Amino acid sequence: MDLLAPPARTLNFDAFWRWLQEHTNCILRCGSPDMTLFDHDDFHWMLMEEERQHVLQLIKGKSLVGEMVMVGREISEVTISPDPDADPQAGHFLAELMGGPKEDPQVLYHFIMAHGIEPVAGHQGFKH
């Protein structure tokens, strides 16, 4: 029996960022076309906002391993769908942060998450 993949969800960047701040331990990797940061048992993720930029840091103890700086106003939407490169049983999800011209949007950043986002019935928040 073939199972259809759940449809992709689309969020604005602010909603995704709020949700991500509550799910930092669920980030498996993230990056841009130029770099990728990978999670590790010895690392933790730190998210902050500085001067209208969204900063994601990967930290080991007190040492910075890597950093990704995103300009939220450049991101037009975030699409979240099952990770096409992962085993379907793993339940990993791909979040693609899109930007650029409306006629030809590009993936500016990506996140692989341990789970997806589901709306909570009758509530404005999200749960996992």
Asked if 68 contacts 30 with a C-beta cutoff of 8 angstroms, the reply is yes
pTM across the whole model: 0.83
pLDDT in tens, the chain (128 residues): 345 455 678 899 999 999 999 999 999 999 999 999 999 999 999 999 988 899 999 999 999 999 999 998 999 999 999 998 888 888 899 999 999 998 999 999 999 999 887 643 433 444 44
Domain ranges of the chain: 28-74
The Cα–Cα gap between 82 and 110 comes to 13
HEC letters along 81-98: EECCCCCHHHCCEEEEEE
Beta-bridge mates of residue 109 = 97
65: its two tokens: 């391993």
Helix (H) or strand (E) holding 51: none
